Structure formats: C-alpha cells, structure tokens
Amino acid sequence: MTLFFSKKSLGAAFTACLFLLVVGAKWATLDRFGSPMPDWDQWDAEAVELFIPWYEHDHFATHLFKPHNEHRVVLTKLQNLTLGVLNGQWDSRLEAGMNAILHAALAVGFWIVGRRWIAARWHALLFVVIAALFALPLAWQNVLGGFHSQQYWLLGLSFLAIVVMPFARTWSAAWWVGLLSAILAIGSMGSGFLAAAVILVIVAWRLWTRESTLRHAWPTLLFTTAIVIFGFLTRHEVAWHAKLKATTAHDFFFSIIHSLQWPWRERHWAAAVLWIPWAMAVWRVATNRTASDGMRPGQTIVGLGGWVLIQIVATAYARGAGADYPASRYMDTLAFGTLVNALAIGWLVGGGAQSLSWRVARYGVGLAWLATFGCGVHFLMSTIVRYELVDARKYYVKAEEHMSRYLGTNDPKALAFPDIPYPSAQELINRLARPSLRAMMPLPIRTPLPLVPAATTSTGVFRENDARGSDVEHPPREGLSPATPPLDATKTWGSFAPGGGASATGEWRSAPLPPPRAAWLKFELAGHAGLPGVALELRSAGTDELLATVAPTKVPGDTWRAAYVRTPREPFVVAARDADPARWLAFSGPTEMGALSYWAARTTKHGLLIVYLSSSATLALGAMAWWASRARPE
C-alpha cells in the first residue's frame, strides 16, 4: 500500500494516463495534418460498397462482405457505417478519431499484461516504450486515414485471441472471448486467420510439454483448425495487384529485412539487434520442456512475435516487388513486433537464477536494443515530421479546394488536377452523382445551404460575391476588403463598399430556410464580426424572435473565420446588420455539420492539451509512487 493509493488504484491511474496520452497525441496529429474528406480507398470500400447500398437498399449484406482488394474489411465497414448513420454525414476525421480510441485500447492491453510479466522496476521503462510506439505518428497514414481501422482491428483482436485462448479453461468465459476474437479477426483483414494458426501452434506445444491434455485442448484445436482452413480457402486474389508481389528471392528477402530493421530505416544490422530478444525468448521456451505456469508469459511472447513474423512474410510476398521499405500503414504491425521484443527483454531480465554470463548477455542485449530502438525512432520521426506529414497536409488542402469547388459548381474542370482524393476524376464524378452519397459530404467540402435575399431586402449595402468558377488569379471581391481573399466554393455577402470602404451601413435578410437535419451550422465570417454595431443572427421566420447570434471566437478582420451555431428547430432567416460606418461584415451561407462531426472537430483540436495533462499526471503519479516506496517502512 502506498501512502495515497493502493497498488491496484495506482495501476489503474497509470492505465488511464496511458490511454489519454495515446488518444490525445493521435487527435493532435489528426487536427493539424488530417482532413474530414474521404480519401482514395474510401470512395470504393465505403462509398460504393457501404453507404450507397445502405441508403439505396441495394443488397447491402452482399456489399458488406464483398472483398476490398485482398481483404474483407467487414469490421471497418460496420464501424464507419455506424458513425455515418448516427452523424448523418461521412466524416473521415470522425472515423480516424474513433480509430485512435481503438489503438489506445490496444496500448492499454499491452500495458496491463506487460506489467504482470516483468518486474516492477521495469514498469516505467515499459510505459515509455508503449507511449512512444503508440502515441508518436510512426504509422501516420493510419492516424490520418478513417478507413485504416482495419489495421487496429487486426492487431487488437489477434492480440486478445493469442493472449487469452491458448491458456483459458475450455468453455470458460475467457475461452469464448478468445475464440470470438479469433473469428472476428477474419473480418478485419485478409491475414486475420493467422491468429488462429498461432494459437494452434501454442496449444500443440503445451500438449508436447504436458502443460495441457488432449481432453482439455481438443476444442481449441478443432475450432482454430476450422478457422485457419476457412480463412485460407476464402482468400481473395486480385489480378491488378500481381505486379506488387515479390518475384525474386532478392526482393522477398530484403523486404523482410527492411521490416525487421524497423524503425531504423538505413541500418540492416538493426534487424538482428531488434529481434534478438524474441529469439532469446524462443530459446528459453524451447529449452524448458517441463510443465510450468511460469512459462506462460514466454509462450505468449513467442506466439505474438511469431504472429508478427508471419505478417511480415505475408506482406513481403504480396507487396515485396522492388524490395522497398514498408509503407507507413504497415508500421503499426511492425511497432507491435517491436513492443513484443521489449516485453521479451523484460521477461528475460526478470527470469530465475542464471549464470553470470547469461545475465550479462541479457542486460547487454537490452541496452543494445534500447539504443537501436531510440536512434531508429529519432531518425524516423525526423523524416515524418519534416516531410511526410507536411506533404500530407499540403495534399489535403489542395484536394479539399478542388472537391469543394466541384461540389459547388459541378464543373469537371475543378477536378482536372493531380491533387484529388481518387485516382480517376471521372469515377469520382460518377460516385458523386448519386444523391444519397452527395448528401453525406462533410465539411469542408460540403456545399452550403442555398441562401438568397428576401424579396424585401435591399442589395445596396450587402453585396453578393460569387467567385465560383471564376479566374483564380483575378476573382471578384464584391463586398470584401482588398486584403480579404474571396471564397471560391460558395457565395458570400459583404458590406465593404468599393470607394466607400466600411462606411456603408444597412441590413440584409435571407428568404426563410427550413430547419436542417444536421445538428450544427457553420458560417464563414470576415470583417468586424463580433464587435458592437455589426451582427449576424438567426431569427424565427414566423415571429422574428432571435434564435442565435453567429460570431467567431476572434474578430476575423481581413481573413475568414468559422462560427458555429446549433441548428434551429423551426424555419428561420439569416439576418445581417452593419450599423457602424467604421466597420464592415461579410458572411457565407450556412453549411450543415453533423453532431458527431462537430464534437470530433472540437475534441481533436484539444488533443495537445490532453497530451500535456496526461503527461503531467503521469509524472506526478510516478513521483508520488517513488516517494511512497522510499517512505515505506522496511
């Protein structure tokens, strides 16, 4: 018992801090570099095979289980369908934000089991390694991509199945959890059935060492064999990916080496250093053939590492052409293997009595592993932060511009650029021609609600500006200051007059709008919005009652700033007022925003704050635990 917390409650507090640290870091990366816009594979797997069949009642079950390339990503489809239906919009940022929670749960799983397998003095180091592997954007494609939950489902379900099922009492609740995880893993990715294969090997080994009996093991052997056979027979090959396969021994071998040496990209010898701990764990398990519960951690570590190696070999075969380094989306699996090796070090160091030479070897391997791992992460993160994430953000910004311009004008020329979120502009246009899909577009590419002035409104003060489809170099800027860039995807209205500047005053009202289905509305405002004398309001179309005041958190000036208001539940009008001759106001039409999209945007924006708070709490808890252990009487 520590002075303030029991050992159990202290462990729970560290677990919560780790979870929040990972989630916060991923949300911070997503907020800075990501986008709500669906991207590449999503236009096939989610648009064509998910949302369109769901909303148009077109053989949904058939489309749900239809393979996407070599994979049946059933769990990813179901997750994103749930989010899309609840939100009313298709938001990749929302999907990626939920994916962060899945990956953080896996980090917590490693932390919970790892603390049981290694000595208490190594817990702090384990916490740091887990936090680094899960919180840093080492696999940034998975962090930013809403479709990439398939990676997390594969890792999480395989981890749970391998940790639980081989050792659980047959027909117990834990055994059923492990079996269900192994079955569901088939619906994560094409290699999902490999977890069952690893379980089969572990159980067979335990039979060989007499740690289990056939009477207790036969159900596990039967079910896992059935899963492996089913997964193998239902594999799906696609002809257009044949060119990606390794066709030479050189490509196959070096593809494996490049994965094993991760995260140190330029050092082939790092593969040996980083995987020696797992090899030593294999040796220790293989040379101890006596029944012993103390070998369960080692057998699990060997099984988890073996699963990663199988994944690496499978990837080298299917994507090994040219022996290139692994793509970012595969790096969460490689990080999984790296963490398994870290657990192997902790387990080996905490082993029973060994010779002096064996103890020196274990500590030497541990230090070499830490140094290699640290250097690799440093160099990899330097490349990711300086180039890859920056390039990703530039791509998203350009693609959002082209998409919003097309959705606002229906002009195919808006998509005649390389920076669009699908390899074929025409196929993208064909998908967006479906009303059910177009209605689900998220901000910032969603088209605002049509806003027209009321019949009684004078257009002399608030001038309409329509830069859609105009010359990008010389767009019109009616109602805007010379320094304010016009919005090129929607109409705007502004009170800045040519020649007179901000001196014009007056009011503007829209025709009544029906209450939208979405929970929030977003306006873009420029000028002196939020200051006395200028205002943008939502008023009841029937009673003229004030329903909401639209104002950004900061005065925008010559830039555009977003303002959010809850959607009125009754017909309303947009009313603008400029009563100050020294100020001006410009605004866009309102764009609908789903409730979950709004909260995803708000929470991810505070990701860095979550990181700071959880890190501070972790340090405080660590200091408290250390002080309490020092103060504890002998």
Orientation of helix 389-409 relative to helix 7-33, angle to 10°: 60
Model-level pTM? 0.93
- pLDDT recorded at residue 435: 95
| C-beta separation of 497 from 504 below 8 A | yes
For residues 272 and 282, give the distance between their C-alpha atoms in angstroms, rounded to a whole number. 14
| C-beta separation of 414 from 471 below 8 A | no
| Mean pLDDT along residues 216-229 | 96
- pLDDT recorded at residue 489: 86
pLDDT band at 355 (very low <50, low <70, confident <90, very high): low
Q: For the structural domain made of 463-589, what CATH number should be given? A: 2.60.120.940
HSE-up of residue 228 (Cα within 13 Å, Cβ side)? 14
Residue with the larger pLDDT of the pair 473 and 597:
597
In three-state secondary structure terms, 116 is helix
Could you tell me what percent of the chain has a pLDDT over 70?
95
HSE-up of residue 468 (Cα within 13 Å, Cβ side)? 19
Nearest CA to 44 among 443, 430, 445, 593? Answer: 430
Residue 354 has pLDDT above 70, yes or no: no
Orientation of helix 7-33 relative to helix 123-135, angle to 10°: 20
Residue 631 has pLDDT above 80, yes or no: no
For residues 605 and 624, give the distance between their C-alpha atoms in angstroms, rounded to a whole number. 31
Residues 6 or more apart in contact with residue 600 via CB below 8 angstroms = 36, 91, 93, 94, 97
Residue with the larger pLDDT of the pair 171 and 290:
171
Residues 6 or more apart in contact with residue 36 via CB below 8 angstroms = 91, 92, 93, 94, 442, 443, 444, 445, 597, 600, 601
Residues 6 or more apart in contact with residue 459 via CB below 8 angstroms = 453, 508
- pLDDT recorded at residue 20: 98
In three-state secondary structure terms, 535 is strand
Residue 3 has pLDDT above 50, yes or no: no
| C-beta separation of 138 from 29 below 8 A | no
Nearest CA to 313 among 260, 363, 364, 264? Answer: 260
For residues 48 and 131, give the distance between their C-alpha atoms in angstroms, rounded to a whole number. 37
One-letter amino acid at 555 equals: V
pLDDT tens per residue, range 269-281: 999 999 999 999 9
Across 237-241, 253-257, 547-551, 630-634, least confident range: 630-634
- pLDDT recorded at residue 266: 83
pLDDT band at 71 (very low <50, low <70, confident <90, very high): very high
pLDDT tens per residue, range 36-63: 999 999 999 999 999 999 999 999 999 9
| Mean pLDDT along residues 171-175 | 96
Task: Compute CA 595 distance to the chain's CA centroid, rounded to the nearest angstrom.
Answer: 19
pLDDT tens per residue, range 427-457: 999 999 999 999 999 999 999 999 999 987 6
- pLDDT recorded at residue 457: 67
Task: Compute CA 77 distance to the chain's CA centroid, rounded to the nearest angstrom.
Answer: 14
| C-beta separation of 436 from 480 below 8 A | no
Could you tell me what percent of the chain has a pLDDT over 90?
80
For residues 480 and 459, give the distance between their C-alpha atoms in angstroms, rounded to a whole number. 15
| SS3 of 208-256 | HCCCCCHHHHHHHHHHHHHHHHHHHHCCCCCHHHHHHCCCCHHHHHHHH
Nearest CA to 336 among 326, 323, 351? Answer: 326
> What are φ and ψ of residue 50, in 5° steps?
-140, -70
Structure tokens at 509: 């009202």
| C-beta separation of 27 from 604 below 8 A | yes
382 to 269, 349, 386: CA distances (angstroms):
21, 31, 6
Residue 2 has pLDDT above 60, yes or no: no
- pLDDT recorded at residue 634: 46
Query: Residue 506, by phi and psi: left (phi above 0), alpha (psi -120 to 50) or beta?
Result: left
Structure tokens at 176: 């059923």
pLDDT tens per residue, range 82-117: 999 999 999 999 999 999 999 999 999 999 999 999
Mean pLDDT rounded to a whole number for the chain:
92
- pLDDT recorded at residue 627: 80
Domain positions in the chain are 7-391+614-625, 463-589
